[in-house]
């Protein structure tokens, strides 16, 4: 268990979100309706139990030295595009859509969910849409009562809530393009920094960072396309998140990008692929930022990249009627991450298992089983390169 960290002279920044009813494009656009996230501050409840079988029970203790995790979610990416051009056997050829991700994974990480494996990584569904997906991802298990994007605030303690319990308010931060994302990241709104969607409201402590303010204002001025309503384009979400990362250096930063999903729904494959490329460039920007933060020593930051669901081949749809959209991918690199490159899981993995990886990396005390993904992704105390290499698939060629 980690004790609460002192925040020193850092400017406290708590962005309280006004959740307009921005809808994912699986639903018809609706008029924005103000919905405050005004739940009372409460003690963080014990973590929910994970249904995942614990193949990781025998996994080693997490490595010391990980100070920070950046978790990036890329809404609605198919694994086929993630692995395209990567050189992994069974992946599509051609130029890679995510060259930076594969380069960084090859250097210091692991990616799961690609072709040719006995076991996939899957969202639990049964409706493969965003809000249930994010609730599973952050809650560590499928939500008990959320089947679509109309759900209210999660009632489950999330991994962000758990990290917040031993961190200051500004040490846990969320920047997302989609406003409803805020409903999945915490059961205790206002307990840490959340800037979800284009128009953040009720700014309690914005601090004196004029640059961050300008980024948020720019995002608000560009609300809408390629989403609808209060959607903030990824360009602006990413810019604000990077600024926050560089200046505040939070212990857990969660960034939710969504342009690819919306271009997919619009039936725009070029836009979808372009958005994936821009997300990949953002991943490289984050890596550069953490390199600067960790400069002069060993890496102290882990970066995890995943998605909330896949989608069907035409890109327009995902959900219960499209079983393929259950498949997701998980990539991680940097501090504390096993260097396995593109690899196959040794057991079926669930999207909710990502929460266990964040817990393990940040050494968050919890009663919840850590889940099978920890053993696949988190480095053992002594890095067994021979064992790791034996499990690597062909490639990548980048
Ligand atoms: Zn979607």
> In angstroms, what is the span from residue 350 Cα to ligand 1's centroid?
19
Distance 192 CA to ligand 1 centre (A): 26
Domains of the chain, first to last? 56-390 (3.40.720.10)
Adjacent-strand bridge partners of 305: 72, 331
Cβ contact 48:342 at 8 Å: no
What residues form DSSP beta bridges with 347? none
In the Cβ-directed half-sphere of 390, how many Cα atoms lie within 13 Å?
4
104 CA distance to ligand 1 middle (Å): 27
Mean pLDDT by groups of 10 residues along the chain of 398 residues: 35 35 36 28 33 38 77 97 94 94 97 96 95 97 93 96 93 95 94 89 64 93 95 97 95 98 97 98 97 86 98 95 96 96 95 96 85 91 42 37
pLDDT recorded at residue 76: 97
C-beta of residue 337 within 8 angstroms of C-beta of residue 110: yes
**Residue 26 CA to ligand 1 centre (angstroms):** 6
Residue 124: CA atoms inside 13 Å, Cβ hemisphere, count?
23
How much distance in Å is there from the Cα of 387 to the middle of ligand 1? 38
Sheet with 330-334: strands ordered across: 193-196, 172-176, 252-257, 68-74, 301-306, 330-334, 109-112, 341-342
Cα 298 to averaged position of ligand 1 atoms, centre (Å): 38
Residue 124 Cα to ligand 1 midpoint, Å, equals 16
Q: Give SS3 for 164.
A: helix
Measured in angstroms, how far is the CA atom of residue 253 from the centroid of ligand 1? Answer: 23
- Tell me the pairing of strands 252-257 and 68-74: parallel
Q: Measure 367 CA to ligand 1 centroid, in angstroms.
A: 33
Phi-psi region of 85 (alpha: psi -120 to 50; beta: other; left: phi over 0): left
Q: If you measure from the C-alpha of residue 63 to the centroid of ligand 1, how many angstroms do you get, rounded to a whole number?
A: 36
Q: How far is the CA of 327 from the centre of ligand 1 (A)?
A: 14
Q: pTM for the complete prediction? A: 0.82
């Amino acid at each position: 268990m980690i004790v609460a960290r002192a925040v020193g002279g850092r400017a406290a920044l708590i962005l309280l979100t006004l959740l307009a009813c921005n809808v994912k494009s699986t639903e018809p656009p609706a008029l924005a309706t103000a919905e405050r996230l005004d739940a009372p501050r409460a003690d963080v409840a014990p973590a929910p139990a994970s249904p995942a079988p614990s193949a990781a029970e025998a996994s080693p203790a997490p490595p010391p030295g990980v100070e920070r995790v950046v978790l990036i979610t890329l809404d609605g990416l198919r694994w086929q595009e993630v692995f395209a051009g990567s050189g992994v056997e069974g992946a599509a050829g051609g130029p890679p859509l995510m060259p930076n991700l594969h380069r960084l994974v090859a250097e210091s990480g692991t990616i799961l969910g690609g072709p040719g494996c006995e076991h996939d990584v899957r969202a639990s569904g049964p409706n493969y849409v965003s809000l249930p997906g994010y609730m599973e991802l952050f809650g560590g298990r499928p939500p008990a009562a959320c089947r679509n994007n109309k759900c209210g605030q999660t009632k489950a303690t999330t991994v962000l809530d758990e990290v917040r319990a031993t961190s200051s308010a500004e040490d846990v931060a969320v920047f997302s393009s989609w406003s409803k994302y805020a409903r999945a990241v915490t059961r205790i709104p206002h307990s840490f920094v959340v800037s979800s969607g284009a128009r953040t409201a009720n700014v309690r402590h914005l601090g004196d960072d004029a640059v961050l303010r300008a980024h948020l204002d720019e995002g608000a001025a560009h609300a809408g396309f390629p989403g609808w309503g209060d959607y903030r384009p990824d360009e602006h979400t990413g810019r604000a998140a990077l600024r926050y990362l560089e200046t505040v250096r939070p212990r857990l930063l969660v960034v939710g990008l969504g342009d690819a999903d919306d271009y997919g729904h619009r039936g725009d494959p070029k836009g979808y692929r372009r958005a994936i490329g821009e997300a990949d460039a953002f991943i490289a920007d984050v890596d550069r930022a953490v390199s600067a933060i960790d400069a002069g020593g060993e890496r102290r930051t882990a970066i995890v990249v995943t998605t909330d669901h896949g989608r069907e081949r035409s890109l327009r749809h995902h959900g219960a009627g499209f079983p393929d959209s259950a498949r997701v991918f998980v990539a991680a690199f940097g501090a504390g991450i096993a260097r396995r490159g593109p690899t196959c899981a040794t057991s079926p993995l669930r999207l909710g298992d990502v929460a266990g990886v964040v817990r393990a990396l940040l050494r968050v005390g919890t009663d919840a089983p850590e889940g099978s993904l920890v053993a696949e992704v988190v480095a053992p105390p002594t890095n067994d390169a021979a064992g790791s290499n034996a499990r690597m698939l062909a490639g990548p060629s980048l």
